[in-house]
């Protein structure tokens, strides 16, 4: 009887573990990783004084509706330009193309960019403002780092992964200023938010 109960417990344990692995949400993993980095003094973008008042990072609940496929119109050989940043700085970027997508039955086309650092990781830079800015989210807008395979004419935009720039947490950083044309006339209740 004891052997039977032991075997039953083992089966139950491994079944639960499989379920947990199967149901792991990559977005939740990203959020946990970011939170861990922020509170770790050796990795945090915040200094010692800022960490004393840091109250954590808040997020909207994950919502599949904010995960969309976008058609990517590539624009090869666009000139490198100086993208304005806060603190009166600029950094070199290049327009990679335009992403066209639908969200809540509205169609949008916004630019995606790259730079030397992003190219190494096969990422595109996507920035936007929406109707939550200055209320539920950072007034300067939000960013996304979009994975790109280098070949496809389609990319996935997961607004659940959208995040605040470091500027939202510390005045010491210089962050890309979201262009006015990158506005989405909707409330994007996804990704990072104010507490």
Flag whether 65 is in a domain. Answer: yes
Flag whether 132 is in a domain. Answer: yes
Flag whether 173 is in a domain. Answer: yes
Question: Average per-residue pLDDT in the chain?
Answer: 88
pTM of the complete model beyond 0.95: no
CB-hemisphere CA count at 13 Å for 135? 7
Contact 62, 28 (CB under 8 A): yes
pLDDT tens figures, 16-59: 444 444 446 889 999 999 999 999 999 999 999 999 999 999 99
Flag whether 177 is in a domain. Answer: yes
Domain count, the chain: 1
Is residue 13's pLDDT more than 50?
Answer: no
Flag whether 108 is in a domain. Answer: yes
* Joined tokens for residue 77: 């050989």
Answer with the residue of higher pLDDT: 22 or 151. Answer: 151
Flag whether 97 is in a domain. Answer: yes
3-state helix, strand, coil split of the chain in percent (to 5) is 30, 35, 35
At residue 66, φ and ψ (nearest 5 deg) are: -95, 15
Flag whether 4 is in a domain. Answer: no
The range of the structural domain enclosing residue 74 comes to 57-193
Flag whether 22 is in a domain. Answer: no
- Residue 42's pLDDT is 95
């Amino acid at each position: 009887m004891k052997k039977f109960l032991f075997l039953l417990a083992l089966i139950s344990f491994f079944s639960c573990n499989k379920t947990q692995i199967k149901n792991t949400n990559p977005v939740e993993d990203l959020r946990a990783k970011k939170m861990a980095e922020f509170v770790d003094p050796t990795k945090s973008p915040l200094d010692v004084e800022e960490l004393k008042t840091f109250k954590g990072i808040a997020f909207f609940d994950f919502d599949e509706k904010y995960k969309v496929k976008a058609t990517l119109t590539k624009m090869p050989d666009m000139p490198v330009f100086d993208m304005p940043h806060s603190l009166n700085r600029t950094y070199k970027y290049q327009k990679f193309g335009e992403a066209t997508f639908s969200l809540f039955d509205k169609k949008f086309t916004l630019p995606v960019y790259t730079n030397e650092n992003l190219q190494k990781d096969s990422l595109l830079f996507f920035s936007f403002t929406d109707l939550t800015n200055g209320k539920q989210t950072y007034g300067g807008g939000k960013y996304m780092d979009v994975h790109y395979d280098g070949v496809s004419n389609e990319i996935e935009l997961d607004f659940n992964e959208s995040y605040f720039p470091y500027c939202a947490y510390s005045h010491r950083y210089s962050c890309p200023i979201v262009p006015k044309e990158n506005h989405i006339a909707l409330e994007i209740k996804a990704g990072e938010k104010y507490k």
